């Protein structure tokens, strides 16, 4: 139950990698939510097995509606180094294209792909992701109440 608070606390910060095929919608929304909601308590990465040229504009607009600007983000290629450097790897439809390393916590989130969909269809995906992110934060870095 005790968590040590030392100058090396940064080394204990959990890290999460979100992976989808294009790194243009789901994984970017998840990374943006985790960054916004967890602050500096969790290190956040996202990548794609086949990155797109740009972020999905409907995903950018859906996130803007909830006060999160991810318009400057760019899709990034998935590397084995990114997986190795992460404690938790959350995949979103990339299947066998995601590298596997023993000792990592893997989760596969079944989410509809927002690619080619309009804002009305992306909003429920965004809201689903937010709920999952809130649960993830609680499992990795629960808030401490007035300690």
Which residues are tagged catalytic? 20, 94, 98
Here the tokens at position 89 are 């790897």
Say how far apart CA 30 and CA 132 lie, in whole Å: 9
Q: Return d(Cα 16, Cα 27) in angstroms, integer.
A: 11
Contacts of 84 (CB under 8 A, 6+ apart): 101
- SS3 for 48? strand
For the chain, helix, strand, coil in percent to 5 are 40, 15, 45
Structure-derived torsion over alpha carbons of residues 30, 40, 105, 142, reported in degrees to the nearest 10: -100
Q: What phi and psi, each to the nearest 5 degrees, are found at residue 93?
A: 90, 15
């Amino acid at each position: 139950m005790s968590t040590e608070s030392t100058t090396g606390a940064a080394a204990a910060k959990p890290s999460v990698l979100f992976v989808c095929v294009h790194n243009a919608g789901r994984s970017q929304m998840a990374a943006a939510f985790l960054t916004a909601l967890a602050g500096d308590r969790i290190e956040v990465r996202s990548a794609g097995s086949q990155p797109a040229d740009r972020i999905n504009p409907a995903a950018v607009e859906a996130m803007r509606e909830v006060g999160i600007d991810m318009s400057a983000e760019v899709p990034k290629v998935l590397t084995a180094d990114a997986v190795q450097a992460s404690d938790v790897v959350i995949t979103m439809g990339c299947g066998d294209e995601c590298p596997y390393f023993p000792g990592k916590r893997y989760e596969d989130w079944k989410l509809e792909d927002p690619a080619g969909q309009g804002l009305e269809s992306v909003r429920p995906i965004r809201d689903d992701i937010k709920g999952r992110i809130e649960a993830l934060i609680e499992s990795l870095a629960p808030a401490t109440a007035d300690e």
